[in-house]
Amino acid sequence: MHFKCIILRLLCVISFKIGLFPSNFAMAQQEHSSEINTSHALKKTFLQSTIASFRNIFVFTKTLPFIGGLVASYKFVEIAVESTFMDYLIDSTDDQRIAAIITNLYDALSSILFVFVSLVAEAYMGCFTTITLCAAASIQGLMLLWTYGSFSVNLALYAAFFFLALGKSGQNLSENFLEYQLEEKIKVKKERELENGSRQNKKEQNHVKSRSNFWLFLFHPVVGYVITVSISLKVNDDYIFRAATLLMGGTLVLFLFGYVGYRRENLSEGNLRKIYRIYKAAFGKRKSKYPTSPSCYYLKGYKQKRWYYKHGKCEELRLYPKVPRLFRWLDKAAIIEGEESSDPEAQEKKGKLCMVKEVREVKSLVPMMYLCFSFFACSLLLGTGNTFFVAQANNMKPMTDNNGNDIWVLFLIMSGMNKMSRFICFIISFSFRRPRQFKAMDGRFKIKRNAGTIIRVAFGMFCAVICSLVAWKVEARRLKVNKENDHNHSGRNNTVTLIPQFALLGTSEGLVDGGLEKLFLGHVMNSMWSFEDSYSELVIGSGKLLIIPVVLIFSNCWFKKKVNDSRLDIYYLMLGIFNAAFLVVFGYYSVKYACGEACLGDEEVPMEHTHEPVSQDSLKENDHKEQPQVERESEDFLQENDLNEQPQLDQDRHEGNDENVDLSVLDLLVN
């Protein structure tokens, strides 16, 4: 094919030399040759950019050991201490129902406290101070468990649970703080490359995200696993509590030693406060009518082309993104009425008026609010894994002679499958997303909504269905063996049979939780990204709370005082059906809200166009010209998209497809 292309080009050159073809054909050939050279240059730049991104995965910072030790300690506490709460409570209360309720209250309290602590850290205290206080709370809770190791249900035990729930917030905060340090290190590296005039690096700098860094993604969890295995093997609970207390205390001191080298993040208004302001302002104007002119919205220098759309026969102007009818009234928070037109900034300070930009940022959360309802069944399964899965293991023969510590081994397997599923998804996404991301940053085409994240979450929910069905079969077989006293099949009641359901539970958690994070970052505006962890905690924590009414309602049939008297097999079967039904619900909401047009975020405005804000008076003066301007902006936007799409069409004609080149040359020869 290459030889044929060369022969045709030689014929074209000879024909032009003897005057058989006009000069514009030669110009076309020259342009085609330059396009091929550009293609090779882009491929070379893409290779260099990919290598640089791969190096960013292994970026090392001097503050890594100081923060990483605390991250590994939290992982040890999560697996060796928190995973066994249900077992301890069953032994102390002698009632699995009370133990399940207390355990899920602890999980829900951890989620609620994390939302509160993260908002305080973002707006008032900063991550360093908040992490220090949370780690101190964890140490206090571990010391109470160490001191009152008998686990009699008393105030000391409840106080220990509260301190540990408060301290657990520091686990996500410490990971986020380590991620921030890595991001700052990568940004410094990018800025050095920018000094060499690299245009590609300049555009790639806006896509810096180190959540997939090797040290954060695999190294510190593995260190936590190694510490767990080395300390928890064949030891009693008192020794584990003492080791956890000393380990947390030592890593906290190490974390404080790195104070000088930490990069501090800037404090900003909390997202929850912003949401409250907009809801309050919109509720005060709930009876107002939607305007028909953009000048009636409070822009305050906002320079975004597509920030509104026309709705209804009256052509009322609504703000992007489009949301269900229940939340459309949020637009009214940015409407200027009567007295507000004279001094809108004063009304903004009073909380009666909000900027268009802020309203759009809060509205971008609405689709994710609808989508979160489809995760209740999956979070209910996660809550079941922390409670009734542990109760199963407590009534089965241990796999090895390790003082009955099979529970933390099962949770170690679950956590490992969680990380493994996330790592596999990262490898797949990096392999397929990197070429398109590079072309999009080069301006060749816009990234369209990728269905990969939807498939990831759906597969995770499917794993939840399989996990419930496997747990149903295992529990039904266990009850049958216990009822018949079949000693020939007593090996079936070994905790080894629980490994598949714990592995599936970890896989489901990794796929769903990681996919939920990607969905949030893909549909919410950048300024609201810091709310992602709080959103995930609220979704998962609220679902875990559902176990409490379920236990109370079915306490006389499915859930008895003892595990062997209960019918957990029926509960697991119903849980599988419940997850399958919500998988269909997720498919509906993902098609309606997640697979549609992406949230129209704020475009970058050149510096020469941002020297003075747009005043409300100037908009009022040009009110009579507004409708033609709207149509003109819409046409400009379509033309701009066409111009962005055209280079990609040109690239498809010559990149990696010599047959198209041959056909184009033959067409020119015929003409």
The last residue of a domain, from among 245, 267, 289? 267
Query: Could you give the angle at the alpha carbon of 433 between the alpha carbons of 431 and 438, nearest 5°?
Result: 110
Cα separation, 374 vs 543, in Å, equals 10
Kind plus residue range of the DSSP H or E element containing 152: none
Average pLDDT over residues 422-445: 60
Cα separation, 182 vs 60, in Å, equals 7
Same domain, 340 and 375: no
Residue 347 counted as domain residue: yes
Same domain, 280 and 333: yes
Same domain, 275 and 172: no
Mean pLDDT of the chain: 72
Domain count along the chain = 3
In this structure, the chain runs to a length of: 671
Same domain, 369 and 382: yes
Same domain, 325 and 201: no
pLDDT band at 594, cuts 50/70/90?
low
Same domain, 227 and 123: yes
The last residue of a domain, from among 267, 297, 323? 267
Residue 613 counted as domain residue: no
Q: Domain range holding 95? A: 58-267
pLDDT for 257 beyond 70: yes
Same domain, 450 and 465: yes
The last residue of a domain, from among 559, 579, 602? 602
Residue 663 counted as domain residue: no
Residue 337 counted as domain residue: yes
Residue 231 counted as domain residue: yes
Q: What percent of the chain has pLDDT over 90?
A: 10
Same domain, 106 and 239: yes
Distances (CA, A) of 573 to 2, 36, 467, 474, 580: 61, 60, 10, 11, 11
Residue 621 CB neighbours (<10 A):
11
Check which CATH number belongs to the domain holding 521 and give it.
Answer: 1.20.1250.20
Query: Residue 620: which residues within 8 A CB-CB, separation 6 or more?
Result: 295
> pTM of the entire structure?
0.74
Dig out the tokens for 494 from the structure.
């070994």
Residue 99 counted as domain residue: yes
Same domain, 438 and 301: no
Residue 643 counted as domain residue: no
Same domain, 350 and 456: no
pLDDT band at 350, cuts 50/70/90?
confident
- What would the pLDDT profile of 193-213 be if each residue is shown by its tens digit? 666 654 444 444 444 444 455
Asked if 451 contacts 468 with a C-beta cutoff of 8 angstroms, the reply is no
- What would the pLDDT profile of 128-166 be if each residue is shown by its tens digit? 899 999 999 999 999 988 887 555 557 788 888 899 999
Residue 646 counted as domain residue: no
Same domain, 200 and 333: no
Same domain, 390 and 309: no
